[in-house]
Amino acid sequence: MSQLPDTNPNPAFKQPARMSRWIPLLGFFVLIALGIFAGVSTALTLRQNAMATTVARQVEEQYQLGLDAMNNGQYEVALQHFQFVIQNEPNYPGVQDAYTKLMIWISVSPTPSPTITPTITSTPDLRGVETIFNQAKQYIAASDWNNAISTLDNLRKAHPTYHTAEVDGMYYISLRNRGYGKIAAGDCRMINLEGGIYDLTLAERFGPLDSDAASMRTFARYYLTGAAFWQVDWVQAQYYFGQTMLGYPNMTDASCQTATDRWREATIEYAKQLILKEDYCGAQTQFDAAFTVYSSENDQYYPTATDVYFKCNPVTPTLTPTLTPLVTDTPIPTTATP
């Protein structure tokens, strides 16, 4: 029996019915895939949270062990505990200051005498190295940072591994104090901001800076940045000296001009620029701000500031009313004199 021909004029008409059979199955697989993905994501999140909790617990434990070891004079043990904390959570409360204190204690603590064990091989003669080491300690005790650092350099050249932790601590305290002193020298003519920043950066290689030293370095950088914009961009100079004023208003360089006075001068120069642009109200604002800092040099700018004030706040002339004479036909009676 022969097959009857398909009388459907549009064979493609049956395709939607065939495709509709696959839609529920495709949706089923999509739901399975989404479920698997959600499950894996949840598992990863839980695992990450668990790891973070474990690390946090270990960091807290290591910090407490470090404090106990440091208080018991076990400086090498404390150093290992604090280094673990810093590597995993550098901003853990208290660890930076504790580490700094530990490095200072290591640098000034007496070196225990090593126990001499008889050996067949000859013991290296370290008497010369010990002399250099003790000399460096004497310089540190006398706050002679330049000689202390040069002596430590000689020690490292002669014996690179001699009392490594203690020498690192001595480097730290010497570089830290020398750098701080260069920025905050009593005689402003001896201030060396660049050198101080460099020393503090070198000290940071041996341990994290304490908050005072780190703050001093930050604001010294602000001062130098403001000085770089001096007479080049008064707006930027004003900004960076304004930042310096927030922390150290009396910070200066070898010019002996404080950050506060430099900010005042930069503000006045910025006001002059605004006058040239005929922005008198803006100039008035800058003059008002600059005059909050007392200086005898402000006197020369008071006339200009006054002129700017009146240009920003012009006086509106008051109109005087014109009196019109009263005209009347009634004669004004006069009083006769008797």
**pLDDT tens by residue, 203-235:** 999 989 999 999 999 999 999 999 999 999 999
Look up residue 291 and give its DSSP letter: T
pLDDT at residue 70, as a whole number: 79
Closest CA to 207 of 85, 112, 109: 85
On whether the CB atoms of residues 227 and 259 are closer than 8 A, the answer is: no
- Torsion over CA of 199, 222, 269 and 188, rounded to 10 degrees? -30
Q: What does the DSSP 8-state code read for residue 184?
A: S
* Under 8 Å between Cβ of 217 and 251: no
pLDDT at 37: 65
CB distance 82 to 66 below 8 Å: yes
- Cβ-Cβ contacts under 8 Å for 262 (sequence gap 6 or more): 226, 227, 230, 237, 241
Cβ-Cβ contacts under 8 Å for 93 (sequence gap 6 or more): none
Length of the chain measured in residues? 338
pTM: 0.63
The rounded Cα 104 to chain-centroid distance in angstroms is 24
- pLDDT score at 332: 56
**Domain limits of the chain?**
33-92, 94-110+128-209, 225-315
Handedness of CA 143, 185, 202, 245 (dihedral sign): positive
CA dist., res. 333 & res. 338, Å (int): 15
The token pair that represents 52 in the structure block:
């973070």
Output 191-194 pairs: Cβ under 8 A, ≥24 positions apart. 191/252, 191/253, 191/254, 192/254, 193/220, 193/223, 193/224, 193/253, 194/224
- Are 107 and 140 within 8 A, CB to CB? yes
pLDDT of residue 302: 96
Pick the CATH number of 225-315 from 2.40.160, 1.25.40, 3.30.450, 3.30.390: 1.25.40
DSSP helix/strand/coil, 257: coil
Q: Are 238 and 267 spatial neighbours (Cβ–Cβ below 8 Å)?
A: yes
The residue type at 296 = S
Alpha carbon distance 295, 255 (integer Å): 17
Give yes or no for a contact between 301 and 287, defined as CB atoms under 8 angstroms apart. Answer: yes
Position 322, amino acid = T
Query: Would you state the pLDDT for residue 105?
Result: 67
Cα-based distances in Å from 249 to 200, 266, 271: 21, 15, 21
Helices (H), the chain: 15-71, 75-88, 95-108, 127-141, 145-158, 164-183, 193-203, 211-228, 234-247, 259-276, 280-290, 302-312
| Residue ranges of the chain with per-residue pLDDT less than 70 | 1-31, 33-35, 37-52, 90, 104-127, 317-338
C-alpha 171/C-alpha 148 separation (Å) is 8
Gap between the Cα atoms of 101 and 84, Å rounded: 16
Contact call for residues 230 and 211 (beta carbons, < 8 A): no
